[in-house]
Amino acid sequence: MKVTTPRLTQHVLTVEGRTTGEPVLFVHGNVSSAAFWRDTMAALPEGYRPLAPDLRGFGGTDPAPVDATRGLRDYSDDLLELVAALGLDGVHLVGWSMGGGVVLQALRDRPGVVRSVTLVNPVSPYGYGGTQGPDGRLTHPDGTGSGAAAANPDFVARLAAGDLSDDSPTSPRSVFRSSYVKHPVPDEDFYVRAMLTTRVGEAHYPGAAVTSGAWPGVAPGRTGVLNALAPTYFRLDDLHELGPRPPVLWIRGADDVIVSDASLFDLAHLGALGVVPGSPGTPAQPMVSQTRAVLERYGRYREAVLEDCGHSPHLEHPAAFLRLLTEHLREA
C-alpha cells in the first residue's frame, strides 16, 4: 500500500488480511528493500500486524534526497511519520543492518511510541567506519575512513545498471552471495532484484564522495546513504538515559562479514589485511563490541547469536529467527 505523509509517499509492504493486532514494523537495510522481510512477515503469528516500509530511495518509496548531516534521521523521521499517519501505538520495531540504526534513532527520538526493539545484525551505534575502540572514538575528527567514497565504484555502476549477472565479484548477485548470506538461500533472484531498486547517486547510494589527505583517503560528504552512516553524523551513545526503555533483542549471525569486529567492508581492517595499501596501523572498527557496550549501558537487552549464519538471519535461519522474534514480542 501507499501512505502519504508530510515528508513523502511511502510504499509499505503488508500481509493480506492482517489489518489488526499489535503493529510490528520491519525496517530493511542498505541496498535492499522491504521485500527482504516478505517471508518473515507472512510467517508472523496471528495477533500481530506486520508492516514493512521501503525507506526513501529504495523500493517503491519516493526517492527523496538524504541529508547525511542528520545521520539516519531522514529515515527515522519518515518511519515516525508513518506511525503517526497510520495511527499506530505501542509499536514493535525490527531493524536489519542499517535498519537497526534507523529503529534505534526512532527509539532515541520517540521512546514513548515503541513497545519493543529487535536488532538484526545492526550497524554500530557509532556508525560505519572511522572509529575505534568499544567507546566509538573517532580515528580522525572529520570521520576519515567512512563515507560514500569508500564504496566500490564498480559495484555502484553495476547496481545503477541493474546488473543481474554473476560474472564479477562486484555484481550485486555476487555481493549478495558473498556478503549478505553465508550459504545459498531460496529465491535468490527475488532478493537481487530487490537490491536493484536502490536509487544511485549523490543524494542516495552511495552519496557524495569526499577525499581526505589522511589514510585511507576518504571522508564523509553531506548527502547520501553511506555519509548518513558516518560517525560524525550518526552516533547513539546515550540510549541508557531514555525513559521509558523498552526491551531490546539483538539477533546476529556469528559469521557476518559486513557488520563485524573484523568487517571485510571496513577500510581499516582491509588496510590491516594489506588489501588497502599504506595503512598506518589504524585498528578495525569493533562494530559488534561497540553495539554490546551501548546495550550493556542500556540494560534491557538480550543477545542471541546464530551459528553458521551471515548477515541475514531472517533469510538464512528463518525458523530460529521467527522463534526468537515471536518470544520477544510476546514478552514485551
Amino acid at site 88? L
Nearest partner of 146 among 212, 65, 53, 74, judged by Cα: 212
pLDDT for 7 equals 93
- Percent of the chain past pLDDT 90, that is, above it, reads 99
Q: Would you kindly state where each structural domain of the chain is located, as residue ranges?
A: 2-331
Q: Which three cell numbers stand for residue 88?
A: 499506530
Q: Which of 96-100, 144-148, 242-246 has the lowest mean pLDDT?
A: 242-246
E strand map for 139-298? 200-201, 205-206, 209-211, 218-220, 248-253
pLDDT for 222 equals 98
pLDDT digits (tens, 9 = 90+) for 282-302: 999 999 999 999 999 999 999
CB distance 34 to 13 below 8 Å: yes
The β-bridge relationship of strands 48-53 and 91-96 is unpaired
User: How many Cβ atoms sit within 10 Å of the Cβ of residue 96?
Assistant: 29
pLDDT for 247 equals 98
pLDDT band for position 321 (cuts 50, 70, 90): very high
CB distance 79 to 51 below 8 Å: no
Mean pLDDT over the full length of the chain: 97
For residue 244, whether the previous peptide bond is cis, meaning omega lies within 30 degrees of 0, is yes
Average pLDDT over residues 133-143: 97
Cα atoms found within 13 Å of the Cα of residue 97, Cβ hemisphere only? 24
pLDDT band for position 88 (cuts 50, 70, 90): very high
- Percent of the chain past pLDDT 70, that is, above it, reads 100
| Whether domain 2-331 has CATH 3.40.50.300 | no
pLDDT digits (tens, 9 = 90+) for 191-223: 999 999 999 999 999 999 999 999 999 999 999
* Cα dihedral across residues 214, 218, 222, 228: positive or negative: negative
User: How many Cβ atoms sit within 10 Å of the Cβ of residue 304?
Assistant: 17
Average pLDDT over residues 42-63: 98
pLDDT for 277 equals 96
pLDDT for 153 equals 97
